[in-house]
Amino acid sequence: MLYPQSNACRQRADLSGFWDFRFDPADEGLGQGWGAGFDPAEIIAVPASWNDQFADWRDYVGVSWYQTTFDLPWGWRGQKIFVRFNAVSYLAEVWLNGERLGEHEGGYLPFAFDITDRVEEAGNLLVVRVDGNLAWDRVPPGNLAGLPGAAFPTVNYPDTSFDFFPYCGIQRPVLLYTEPHDAIADLTAVTEIDGASGVVRVQIARTPGDPLAARVALAGHGAELSTTVALEESAAEVTLTVPDAALWSPDAPNLYDLRVELLRDGAVVDCYTLAIGIRTIAVEGDRLLLNGEPVKLVGFGRHEDFPVVGKGLLPALIVKDYALMRWIGANSFRTSHYPYSEQMMDMADRLGFLVIDETPAVGLFFFEEGLEKRNRLCQQMIREMIDRDKNHPSVIMWSIANEPHTAHLEARQAYYRDLTVVEHPSRPEAVAAFKAQTELVRALDPTRPVTLVSQEGALEEAFEFVDVVCLNRYHGWYTQSGQIDLGLQYLDREIELIHELYPKPFLLSEFGTDTIPGHHAHPPEMFSEEYQADFLTKQIKLTDEKPFVIGQHIWNMCDFKTSQAVHRMGAYNYKGVFTRDRRPKLAAHRVRALWRGEDGS
Ligand code: ADA
């Protein structure tokens, strides 16, 4: 799904700003026809979550309504006109001028509607019903206490099956945009390296219509290449070879300008530009290769999270977070636990960060209730994520899930007791689901490795299907609590056990400790800054010794908001090496010295 552009053939307008709003806790708006307009009770900022914008609606995750009006910009009539929502959490239903346009389920990926035949010259009323409810058949799931015969007592509020606050609302921009009737419908750019040359394969999909030509130009770093092909059918592929290519990597995030034009009798009828990075990513034995060379991923699991805006897009925070990741010496992050904003992904291309792009499938379980719908949603979100992010050179891997509950309870108990791995520890429904999902990823994008981020360790049978093994593990925190060195021994044994069963590149995708900013102790003790600094230092050093470990992602870069629970003081997860307002803890300085090779070792 191409991001809307403003250029000689296309226009774009941003509807961000202050919208009318009202909460609908009784869910009466549908029955009362609010899609045709409603009496506003509040004014709300878009984009941003609704939870922290008002005095007393933080924990409300039900239904709410947004509306705004707009006039059609001059000169747009005669083109195809669309409205696009970059992300609305969790389920959005949309009306224009009282007509229902449709709906979209899933809180972190874009969707659009063609409004060409419905938009008026002036006074257009755009209404959005947003359903933020937690439910066990949604992705990510929630409200497990509501499961029939639930064995789940509510341990956190709001009742999520994941550890971050379920912020809701129109959290990323809403755009109006045009496309010509003969338009570039999609572009897929795949790059290879051939000696000193770069090879760029561009697949062009067009809207149906009479024969056209396509001109593809690539410019940058001294290269000026162009070729023109006939575009009779719905798609065509063009290959450009770039001599002395300036490759893309974290150390040198070289980008080229790709420009695609559709021509009728020599006249340009549509154009679209993409920033292209020439790079390759591959798994070879136990190694992850970037441009044919082993690459080490050092960085973080993160969240889109900040006071007041919640998960709302905040460009200055994106700039700040990249500056801090650069400062600490990170070169990589995972979009835990959902695809991040297009703006975050564009900056990763421009600044040179290696991204594991993760779907919103966090905390999945495989009981019968809702399973068919959860599986269907997981596949929908895989398709939407790859469709949106496939042209980013920064995206080096797809993650199809975070910490799914795949193992049988008894298997897990035996494993946690003494690392005993029973026969077939995973639920067959989980194995089937992840086999299908890894096959789907490979069918959609054979150019990138696929992973699944697990807490089941050697019990995770889905590791059989992935290219890279990712383990979240907190030895010395949740287990061997207060005993960093004992935890190290367990971590050492477990990583070796997993690698023996699944001899693939291994990423320690989460490890960390809750740390209260300003809390100190000597000797170090849990929740102190000293404990976090020692814990992270020792686990980084241990994993660095293993040739098949391709890196470490600390959990988490920053403290973040989560549900209320006895183990989450103030409803925060304090595992950040930075505070929520981006101030460094002691560990930030210690990790910086390690990752920048300044720790004297
Ligand atoms: C898990 C999970 C994270 C967070 C972490 C923790 O690994 O993936 O989202 O909950 O544990 O802080 O316990």
Q: How far is the CA of 163 from the centre of ligand 1 (A)?
A: 6
Token couple for 141:
């799931």
Q: Which atom of ligand 1 is nearest to the CA of 336?
A: 9
**Rg (alpha carbons) of the chain, rounded to whole number:** 25
CA–CA gap between residue 81 and residue 120 (Å, rounded): 11
Q: Quickly state the pLDDT bin for 143 (edges 50, 70, 90).
A: confident
Q: 428: buried, middle or exposed (CB in 10 Å: 19+, 13-18, 0-12)? A: exposed
Residue nearest to atom 3 of ligand 1 (CA): 163
Of the ranges 148-152, 415-419, 551-555, which one carries the lowest mean pLDDT score?
A: 148-152
Residue nearest to atom 2 of ligand 1 (CA): 163
Q: Both ends of the chain: CA-CA distance in Å?
A: 47
- Tell me, what amino acid is at 300? F
24 touches ligand 1 (CB under 6 Å) = no
Whether residue 460 lies in the annotated active site? no
Mean pLDDT of 275-296: 98
**What is the model's pLDDT at position 404?**
96
CA–CA gap between residue 444 and residue 439 (Å, rounded): 9
- List, for residues 97-130, the tens digit of each pLDDT value: 999 999 999 999 999 999 999 999 999 999 999 9
Token couple for 135:
């439910």
Q: Quickly state the pLDDT bin for 320 (edges 50, 70, 90).
A: very high
Q: How far is the CA of 337 from the centre of ligand 1 (A)?
A: 10
Q: Which atom of ligand 1 is nearest to the CA of 562?
A: 10
Give start and end residues of each alpha helix (H) in 502-582. 529-544
472 touches ligand 1 (CB under 6 Å) = yes
Whether residue 403 lies in the annotated active site? yes
- Tell me, what amino acid is at 508? L
Q: Quickly state the pLDDT bin for 243 (edges 50, 70, 90).
A: very high
Mean pLDDT of 523-535: 98
Q: Which atom of ligand 1 is nearest to the CA of 453?
A: 8
**What is the model's pLDDT at position 152?**
58
- Tell me, what amino acid is at 16? S
555 touches ligand 1 (CB under 6 Å) = yes
- Tell me, what amino acid is at 52? D
Instruction: Answer whether residue 147 shows pLDDT above 90.
Output: no
CA–CA gap between residue 351 and residue 299 (Å, rounded): 14
Residue nearest to atom 7 of ligand 1 (CA): 472
Pairing of strands 42-46, 17-23: antiparallel
- List, for residues 576-597, the tens digit of each pLDDT value: 999 999 999 999 999 999 999 9
Residue nearest to atom 4 of ligand 1 (CA): 163
**Cβ 68 vs Cβ 85: under 8 Å:** no
Q: Quickly state the pLDDT bin for 151 (edges 50, 70, 90).
A: low
89 touches ligand 1 (CB under 6 Å) = no
358 touches ligand 1 (CB under 6 Å) = no
160 touches ligand 1 (CB under 6 Å) = no
305 touches ligand 1 (CB under 6 Å) = no
Q: How far is the CA of 81 from the centre of ligand 1 (A)?
A: 42
**Cβ 178 vs Cβ 200: under 8 Å:** no
Token couple for 73:
């910009």
- Tell me, what amino acid is at 411? A
Of the CA atoms within 13 Å of residue 492, those in its CB half-sphere come to: 11
**Cβ 259 vs Cβ 265: under 8 Å:** no
Token couple for 138:
């949604």
Mean pLDDT of 550-562: 98
